[in-house]
Amino acid sequence: MTKGVYYSVFGLALKSNRPLPGLAPLPNLPAADVEVWLGEGPPYLDHPGAALPEVWYLSPDAGRSEVPVLQVWKLEGGAYFRLRYRDGVEFILNREGTRVWAGWPGNAKLEDVTVYLLGPVLGFLLRLRGINCLHASAIEVDGQVLAFMGPPGAGKSTTAAAFARRGYAVLTDDITALEEKGERFWVLPGAARLCLWPEAVRALYGSPEALPRLTPEDAVDPEWDKRWLDLAGPEYLFQSQPLPLGAIYLLGERALTGPSFEAVTGKAAMLALLANTYSYYLVDKALRAQEFEALSRLLDQVPIRRVTPHPDPAYLPRMCELIVKDFYALSLPPISGKASH
């Protein structure tokens, strides 16, 4: 790839052969950490002597279709991974996490491909590069990061958007990539946007039409109508530099008694982290062991707090206030060291 468009995501310099929708390009950089080929594949994988693919993962949630949502194969003895989604969008990654190729059927749009690329594909690529990731969104409070962790539907992005509306800077949505430096874990900024379901947009802005769709109505799945909040605009703040992780807030089940908080410690804290690591189902035993050791060190440094939100979205501003108050009440280690980015 001689010419391309450069971007910065999760501390990586990406070079793409085509513009990526929803991302702000950078000036040409001297080198790229990851090269992305959209609409192209690695031709040398099709040579006659290529090793047969090895099934690596089949998602269990086939739903109404017999085709799994995600199928993953190892290629060339593990030198490459092929990810194929139910809608026909495909990616191939090399084992080093430095190259990505993407292909898609004629009814898919580049916006569909970008949603996968900036989400699960880059999440897996980060894991291949040895970067541990939590299924969490993150914001800045007083020079430190609060990460909102939880399963799909827990309200991670919604909580981050509520903070964004109150003037807090957002670092990342859905994937919180962690780099261990010295005695602290630093959060690497993701893309400058938040992805929200229409119900969340209605709760925050009064109407789901207040924000644009991530993918057009004639996309491969018109019923998948997530909206996106542009954090690069003048109304919001995006933190583009890494910051140390200060606390993790585990979003639990909603209750009329909320918002309320409690500490999560010991075995329960480790189980919560392991259940909310990103792309855990795709990593091998060696990466999983490395991750476990890193999470053990993280638990020694970063408090985990379980949040019980109120079911009424009108309580979101109040929950934001209480989260900040709870964070300031914690006894945290001083910030030391600087990120080398």
Q: Write the pLDDT tens digit of every residue in 193-250.
A: 999 999 999 999 999 999 999 888 776 676 678 999 999 988 999 999 999 999 999 9
- Would you kindly state where each structural domain of the chain is located, as residue ranges? 5-128, 132-329
User: Among the CATH numbers 3.90.320, 3.90.550, 2.60.40, 3.90.228, which is that of 132-329?
Assistant: 3.90.228
Q: Residue 48: pLDDT band by 50, 70, 90 thresholds?
A: low
pLDDT of residue 222: 66
pLDDT at 337 over 90: no
Q: Residue 63: pLDDT band by 50, 70, 90 thresholds?
A: low
pLDDT of residue 183: 84
pLDDT of residue 279: 86
pLDDT of residue 338: 41
Taken in order 272, 278, 280, 285, is the CA torsion positive or negative? negative
Q: Report d(CA 16, CA 274) in Å as an integer.
A: 32
Q: Helix 266-275 crosses helix 285-301 at what angle (to 10 degrees)?
A: 130
Q: Which residue's entry shows tokens 């933190």?
A: 239
pLDDT of residue 228: 93
Report how far apart, in Å, the C-alpha atoms of 13 and of each of 27, 100, 111, 133, 304 are: 11, 13, 20, 18, 31
pLDDT at 65 over 80: no
Average pLDDT, the chain: 90
Q: Write the pLDDT tens digit of every residue in 172-182.
A: 999 999 999 98
Q: Residue 335: pLDDT band by 50, 70, 90 thresholds?
A: low
Q: Residue 38: pLDDT band by 50, 70, 90 thresholds?
A: very high
Contacts by residues 19-22 (CB-CB < 8 Å, ≥ 24 positions apart)? 20/114, 20/117, 20/118, 21/110, 21/111, 21/114, 22/111, 22/114, 22/191, 22/193, 22/214, 22/228, 22/230
